[in-house]
């Protein structure tokens, strides 16, 4: 396999190191925007030199972002080149377009590292579907937010302080919004749900609430009531309808999710016959992510040509399929919230069971009234 590598950042360096251990693969060219030490002989500064090179059969895209990644990946597929990518943003936004291009041009398209980093999540989801029907997926899909929530449960620390520490350790970006507000997780959930259910969800179909307003006082209240708070993404199918969402979630202190430490992820699918199966590991980082990129390359080299899902039909969203109580902390209680209160904790209230859609719609609107409000679903 002759590889053209688009991007030589943290993951790109890891890809080169893993490929060097595989005698039947070779990185022929690396597209960089500026010179990088150690790869001068294979560096190109025009990505078209990779796209138009007939000797390169596989393009590995680890640039990130939508553009020019979309244009370059599309051009590679149109030339019949296999594409391996870790770019969740790209796959989520152009899911059906890229799958269609791959099939039309007889090319492989694989993106295992885009969901779960080093966890072989998508390949096992694909494997489950050979014999069983997946009815639900859920889990912790972001290492940055799990690091923050885990640290806040371990010691009384404010959100802003632990976010700063996460940035210093390299777990959080300088601009952490995609992680703490949920965009990163939502992209992973969209891809995972589309594969699991053979559907075509869009990011805008999935309501979410992030963790930026969680406080040390909230965490203490959860601890006193036997709960641990994690940012969890979920999707389930009932007949032809799908419900997908992500929100801070209170899980029992003895649940699997409660024990997930630091920057680790835990993702679970539930099959109708096989029941739940969970996958634990590092969801990001140079070697975990690059590991799954190169595993995808090996799969293609050994004959894997199909995408993880054979179909992608638009799904009808069911906004009332999931109902449960919520913890809500706000300085400005309104009529809707007052009408749903079932209990009061030290710094917040607990609602009766309400639909996820209704709660997340209220929370989004209520932020305009109280930007510091926080909610968490209760399992």
Per-residue pLDDT of the chain (379 residues; tens, 9 = 90+): 999 999 999 999 999 999 999 999 999 999 999 999 999 999 999 999 999 999 999 999 999 999 999 999 999 999 999 999 999 999 999 999 999 999 999 999 999 999 999 999 999 999 999 999 999 999 999 999 999 999 999 998 999 999 999 988 878 888 999 999 999 999 999 999 999 999 999 999 999 999 999 999 999 999 999 999 999 999 999 888 999 999 999 999 999 999 999 999 999 999 999 999 999 999 888 999 999 999 999 999 999 999 999 889 988 898 788 999 999 999 999 999 999 999 999 899 999 999 999 999 999 999 999 999 999 999 9
Q: Domain 2-110's class? A: alpha beta
The per-residue b/e assignment along 227-243, b for 16 or more CB within 10 angstroms, e otherwise, is bbbbbbbbbbbeeeebb
Tokens representing 75 are 């051009």
pTM greater than 0.85 (yes/no): yes
Cross-strand bridge partners of residue 110: 84
Give the SS3 label for residue 155.
coil
- CA–CA distance, 6 with 353 (Å, rounded to integer): 48
The residues spanned by each domain of the chain are 2-110, 122-286+315-378
Say whether 235 sits in a helix, a strand or coil: strand
For domain 122-286+315-378, give the CATH number: 3.30.360.10
Q: Which of 119, 120, 367, 141 is nearest to 245 (CA)?
A: 141
Which residues are identified as catalytic?
188
């Amino acid at each position: 396999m002759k590889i053209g590598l688009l991007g030589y950042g943290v993951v790109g360096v890891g890809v080169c190191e893993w490929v060097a251990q595989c005698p039947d693969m070779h990185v022929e060219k690396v597209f960089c925007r500026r010179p990088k030490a150690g790869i001068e002989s294979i560096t190109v500064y025009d990505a078209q030199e990779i796209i138009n090179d007939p000797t390169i059969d596989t393009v590995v895209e680890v640039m990130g972002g939508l553009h020019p990644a979309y244009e370059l990946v599309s051009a590679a597929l149109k030339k019949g080149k296999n594409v391996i990518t870790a770019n969740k943003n790209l796959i989520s936004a152009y899911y059906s377009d890229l799958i269609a291009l791959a099939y039309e041009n007889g090319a492989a398209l694989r993106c295992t590292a885009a969901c779960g980093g080093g966890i072989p999540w998508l390949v096992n989801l694909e494997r489950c579907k050979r014999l069983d029907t997946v009815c639900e997926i859920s889990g912790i899909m972001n290492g940055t937010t799990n690091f923050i929530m885990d640290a806040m449960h371990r010691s009384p620390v404010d959100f802003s302080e632990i976010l700063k520490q996460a940035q210093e350790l390299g777990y959080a970006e300088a601009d952490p919004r995609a992680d703490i507000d949920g965009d990163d997780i939502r992209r992973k959930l969209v891809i995972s749900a589309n594969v699991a259910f053979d559907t075509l969800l869009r990011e805008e179909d999935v309501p979410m609430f992030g963790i930026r307003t969680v406080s040390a006082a909230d965490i203490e209240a959860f601890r006193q009531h036997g709960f641990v708070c994690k940012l969890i993404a979920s999707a389930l199918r009932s007949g032809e309808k799908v419900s997908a969402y992500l929100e801070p979630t209170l899980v029992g202190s003895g649940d699997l999710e409660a024990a997930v430490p630091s920057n680790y992820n835990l993702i679970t699918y539930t099959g109708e016959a096989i029941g739940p199966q969970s996958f634990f590991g590092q969801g990001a980082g140079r070697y975990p992510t690059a590991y799954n990129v190169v595993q995808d390359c090996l799969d293609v080299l050994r004959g894997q040509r199909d995408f993880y899902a054979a179909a992608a039909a638009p799904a009808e969203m069911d906004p009332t399929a999931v109902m449960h109580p919520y913890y809500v902390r706000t300085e400005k209680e309104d009529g809707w919230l007052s009408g749903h209160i079932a209990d009061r904790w030290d710094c917040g209230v607990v609602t009766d069971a309400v639909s996820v859609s209704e709660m997340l719609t209220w929370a989004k609107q209520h932020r305009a009234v109280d930007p510091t409000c926080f909610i968490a679903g209760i399992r």
